[in-house]
Structures are given as C-alpha cells and as structure tokens.
Amino acid sequence: MRAARLHAPGQMVVEEVARPVPGARDLLVRVEACGICGSDRHMFRGEYPTAKPVTLGHEFCGRVEAVGAEVAGVRVGDRVSGDPNIACGVCEACRAGRPNLCVALSPIGVMRDGGFAEYVLVPEGQAAVLPAGLDPRHGAFCEPVSCCLHAIDVARIPPGGSVLILGGGVIGLLMLELARQAGAGSVVVATRQAPRRELALALGASHAIEAGRGHTDTEILAALPGGADVVFECAGVPETVTQAIRLARRGGTVVLFGVVPQDDRVQISPFELLTRELRLESAWLNPRTHQRAAALISAGALSLDRLITRTIGLEDVPGVIGAAPAMGEIKVMMTREAPASGESRDENRAFP
C-alpha cells in the first residue's frame, strides 16, 4: 500500500510499504479521510517527539476491511473513527483513570503508523462505530473534537460565564461551538486572519478581534470588562500563553491547549497567579471523550462542513504538512478519492 512516512525532521515521502495485518483484537481500516493537524507540522519540523520512520496521521476515519479473530463488537463494513491514543492500562496514571498521562502512551500516527495511508491498524477498543451514511470527513473530526471536550471539562465554564479563545484555527473554532453548548454566555475569539474572524462570528462568537496588534488586549477588555471567566490558549505560541494570563479575570481560569514547541519557555509571575487567584490548567489529549465526540458528530451537532477548507490526496500530504498554512485555511482533509493536486473537491459528493 501507499503511505506518507516521516523519516527525519523535514523528510517526509509517500512510498510503498507492506499492508498491515490485523492481530487478534485489531481492525484493518481502509482510510477514507484523515485530517492534517497542527501537531503533524510540529512533528514534521522535529518540534514534537515521534517514532521514525513512521506514518503520520492521527485524525482518521474509514471502513473496516478485516477484523482479528477475537474482535466481537465491530464488523467488516462498519465505518469507524479511531482514538489514536493507546494507553498501557496498567501504569499508575492508567489505574487512576487518566490514560492520557500513561507513561507508555503509544499514539497512532505518532509512535505507530497512522492514517496518512491507504490502510491503518486500530485496536478494537480504540474504535468508535459511526453511522453508515456519515460523511467520513466528519468522522475524521472525532479526535480533535474529543480533545476539545476534555478542555471544556477541565475549564468548568460557569453557567452564562465569559470565555476568551486565543487562536482561531480549527481548534479555536471547535472550542467556540463547544463552549456555547457548555453554557457560556459570551465567547470572544482573537485571531489574526480576517476570514477566520468572519467564520467565528457566523459560528456564534460574541466578538471576533484581530490578534497580533498592540491594542488587542484593549479591544478584548472592552468586550470582556475585567477579563474572561475562562481563557483557552489555542494558538500554541509563548506570547499567547502570557496574554491568556493577563486577560483572565480575578478568580478566573486559564486552560493551556495549543501545542507550544517543546523547547520554548515563557515567564510567569507566581505572585500574579497568587494574588489574582487564577487557576492555571492544561488539557492534554482525550481521556474518555472519544465516544462522546463520535456521538456529537453523529448527531450533526457541530458545523463541520464550514471548517473544511480543502481536500487533498495522499500524494499531496508531505507538501501540505511541510508548508505553512495558507491564508484562510482551517482544516485540510486527505480523502480516499481526492482530485488532482491543486483542485477543489465537490463538497456534495456522496461516500459509498
């Protein structure tokens, strides 16, 4: 089969590899869609640890083509999404119900081969069965939505409370919709790109403010006097980490969600955290939220079509991951039947 393999930082190629063979409790999934994540770009640049060589791609959906001898709850032909975060189940964190903190975590698309390929192996326990008629591109959103749900859980948004989201990419926009569903009264999104601000307003943001200017804080505080009850840092850059702390109200909560490169550092004032009694949290991966995400997506509760800005084929994956996101880009999706490079896919095409 064909797969997009990362061999070293900056070196990713599509090549022929052996098709995986399912073990007793595995599913062989024919990939129909796999989303490109900002983490994939971090891995490409060597800013996030991975196995090498490895097939990237951790946001995937597809049809089950074969099952292992001990698989009981999933059938050939089912459409599934895969929770990529495989925990050991026996370490202290796993026994405490926090599999996202597993000391031996082995994520699909990071430490084992993932979904930028024609086929991927998924343990049965990591699969969520989706409706047969669901657009597989929507199914590929299960992983990012599940991670956002964990952040919403960690935040504990007060009923009618105010939320500030720093970063208007796909994660920030998903967080916007989920915060509204969690009961937020007002949600402000700060992002650099005008198309993303326009979409944020269409998706229910109270205000969408241009980020990266000297008076951004002033505009945010005009919309949220005193600061926000909850600030989600979704940009993954040091400057917005410190900005998030500045813009939380007294007694508020800051949730770190964006992936800052592992060698970057920020300066934080413990005195400020103490005297403003800020709760500084982080939300890592998706403990026990993948099935919830699948249920939301299956019910059509999120505006996913508006987040898909481009579909590409497998051969285009290395070039897209190796390049900076294009202006207005939100989610690029690799699909099984994509058009030639550079063309647009017919968004109304049915999936058999």
Q: Taking the domains of the chain in order of start, what are their residue ranges? A: 2-141+304-335, 146-282
pTM of the model: 0.94
Alpha-carbon gap, residue 262 to 347, rounded angstroms = 37
Ranges under pLDDT 50 in the chain? 342-352
| Residue pair 120/62 in contact by the 8 Å Cβ criterion | yes
What local confidence, expressed as pLDDT, does residue 52 receive?
97
What local confidence, expressed as pLDDT, does residue 214 receive?
83
What's the pLDDT tens digit per position in 28-62?
Answer: 999 999 999 999 999 999 999 999 999 999 999 99
Residue type, 297: I
Residue whose structure tokens are 């032909």: 77
CA angle 57, 58, 62 (to 5 degrees): 85
- Please tell me the CATH code under which domain 146-282 is placed: 3.40.50.720
Q: CATH top-level class for 2-141+304-335?
A: alpha beta
What local confidence, expressed as pLDDT, does residue 337 receive?
80
Alpha-carbon gap, residue 152 to 146, rounded angstroms = 10
Alpha-carbon gap, residue 315 to 336, rounded angstroms = 11
| Residue pair 324/314 in contact by the 8 Å Cβ criterion | no
- Residue in 44, 326, 306, 83 with CA at minimum distance from that of residue 201: 306
SS3 31: strand
Alpha-carbon gap, residue 92 to 344, rounded angstroms = 48
What local confidence, expressed as pLDDT, does residue 346 receive?
37
Exposed, middle or buried by CB within 10 Å (0-12, 13-18, 19+), for 91?
middle
What local confidence, expressed as pLDDT, does residue 213 receive?
82
Residues 6+ apart with CB under 8 A from 50: 6, 43, 56, 110, 111
Strands 26-35 and 119-123: antiparallel
| Residue pair 182/152 in contact by the 8 Å Cβ criterion | yes
SS3 331: strand
